[in-house]
Structure 1
């Protein structure tokens, strides 16, 4: 399986509302529940109305369009990384999954995945 590194820094935030989000960002993930409004965006585009923000994330995506019948792809990656003491923040879209990892663990994560046979597209 091929993984594509996204060459930018990300932040994970809790925001007051959607009014200050820069939707021109190539990567902008919004999650809304009855308890919170979360945002994953490029670090340089964190909105002023962020209530909480955690900077220092890097990411890769699983390449290709993943059919909904495919089972265990994200589970296998997250388990492999967890077994190596690497935490993740995952975002799923209609087509694929994105795995965010803290910068200080990113190279270790890439090495772990390569050793397990994943192809890393830098």
Structure 2
């Protein structure tokens, strides 16, 4: 399975209002937003994190599973996360309609790539 590196440094944060999703964030190539009954969560480039964010965790790098993942496919994210967990690498995963994205802390990124390559994944 092919994985693609996403360039940049990312932050996972909590925000208090939708208005914090600035046009600059929305114009960037890679960002995620989630809303539940308990919180508003945002993943974006570290340089674009709203100053008013409630909490934040900086220092992430990202990669994605290449291609479109059919909803009938099972265990893809589970297998990836198991490889990383077996080597003590924590993840923050985000799923979209088409595919999954994995964020790991910058200090673990190279090791994560090495372990995934050893497990048979490729990075073009």
Q: What band does the TM-score fall into relative to the shorter chain?
A: over 0.9
Which structure 1 residue ranges, 5 or more long, are not aligned? none
The corresponding residue for 1:110 is 113
TM-score w.r.t. the length of structure 1 is 0.97
- Give the RMSD, CA atoms, in angstroms: 0.7
Aligned equivalents of 1:84, 1:29: Cα separation in 2: 27
The corresponding residue for 2:82 is 79
Aligned length: 121
Which structure 2 residue ranges, 5 or more long, are not aligned? none
Structure that is richer in strand per residue: 1
Which residues of 2 match residues 1-20 of structure 1 at below 5 A?
1-20=1-20
TM-score w.r.t. the length of structure 2 is 0.95
Structure that is richer in helix per residue: 2
Which residues of 2 match residues 1-122 of structure 1 at below 5 A?
1-21=1-21, 22-121=25-124
